[in-house]
Amino acid sequence: MTPTERSQRVKQLAEQQGFDRCGIAPLGPIDRADYLLEWLQRGMAGTMGYLHRRRESRHDPSRFLPGARSAIVVAVNYHQPPSALPADGAPRGRVAQYAWGEDYHVVVRERLEGLLGDLRSAMDELFEARVCVDTSAIVERALAARAGVGWIGKNTLVLHESLGSYFFLGEILLTLDLAPDHPAADHCGSCTRCLEACPTGAFPAPYQMDARRCISYLTIEHRGEIPGELHAGMGDWIFGCDICQEVCPFNRDAPTTREPRFALGERITLERSVAPGAADASPRTDDDPNPRLDEVLAWDADAHRATTQGRATDRATLAMWRRNAAIARANIARDSAPASS
């Protein structure tokens, strides 16, 4: 096969595996590698110390797999319609859409492993390959833009004209020569809705994000106390945040995911003992996008484990969930209090 024929076959197999987008990127130093280094040096990664490790492969993904020449970059849509709030009047928090269903690391990796198996059967020569899903030491957004899967928007997320931004990325780095796609063109234009909508001011400039002020970082990655001046802006978000995606025009008609494992599950009851005077933590939802704050604050280790096991939400510890819920409850109480005369 020629590189072009191989790329065509890759895309056919990716479609059969159910990926919503597939592009091919040549490997080499990423665009804005100097900016990434400056971003780290300025402390904008906050407490995410792991981003300072393996810098060589973050700057040049070909270093992640010796001899790698190409990257297959795929997108998997996770968008779902808004979930209606129960009419019980209880204060509730919000969970970002990406964490509503099963852990995307598992779902996307399984599909990529399936694609890799198909490729080994279909290609005319042996090759080395590595599957990457989010946690690998590469800058996958840069690869996605280079592969034409989307462009990096002003909120630093990857955007696509018809998919919007509610999608996961995954990659296969391999030693085969594949014909690359053209990089995606930037269609943000003069729009700044995402920058203006961020309640904590996490975007110091277009295409730049200060993780230390990002609600997603604060609720998911940051293990310590959250600075008091950021509490009000966090609103009722207790795991992640979708605000900059919700206001993006390209998400106005975003399609609904075809992956049933990302869909919200049925309500289940967790039976556990409740200390006298404590809020009853059951029934609850194992993947509720709007969990009751009193239930979260009453969680013990077993409840936390049962609720987050097998989901992206297990990234936050029990202490972090309680911290986030306490901030959200205070914000809701403040916003619902009658105005003083």
Strand 94-95 to 237-239 pairing = parallel
Residues in the chain where the model's pLDDT stays below 50 = 266-286, 341
Look at residues 237, 232, 235 and name the one whose alpha carbon lies nearest to residue 220. 237
Q: What is the pLDDT of residue 83?
A: 76
Establish whether 134 is a catalytic residue: yes
- Domain coordinates of the chain in residue numbers? 1-262
**Measured in whole angstroms, how far is the alpha carbon of residue 172 from the centre of its chain?**
18
- What pLDDT, in 10s, does the model give residues 196-220? 999 999 999 999 999 999 999 999 9
CB 72 within 8 A of CB 172: yes
- Measured between alpha carbons, how far is 140 from 171 in angstroms, rounded to an integer? 8
CA distances from residue 248 to 139, 191, 196, 205, 213 in whole angstroms, order as listed = 23, 9, 11, 17, 20
Q: Which amino acid is at 209?
A: M
Residue 59: enclosing H or E segment and its boundaries? helix 55-59
pLDDT of res. 266: 37
- Strand partners of residue 205: 208
Relative to beta strand 70-77, strand 167-174 is antiparallel
Work out the burial of residue 280: count CB atoms within 10 Å of its CB; fewer than 13 is exposed, 13-18 middle, 19 or more buried. Answer: exposed
**pLDDT for the residue numbered 86:** 80
* CA 218 remoteness from chain centre: 14
pLDDT of residue 85: 79
Task: State the number of CA atoms in the 13 A half-sphere of 104 facing the CB.
Answer: 26
What pTM did the predictor assign? 0.90
Q: What is the pLDDT of residues 72-83, one digit of tens each?
A: 999 999 999 887
Q: What is the pLDDT of residue 12?
A: 97
Choose, from 31, 60, 118, 134, the residue flagged as catalytic. 134
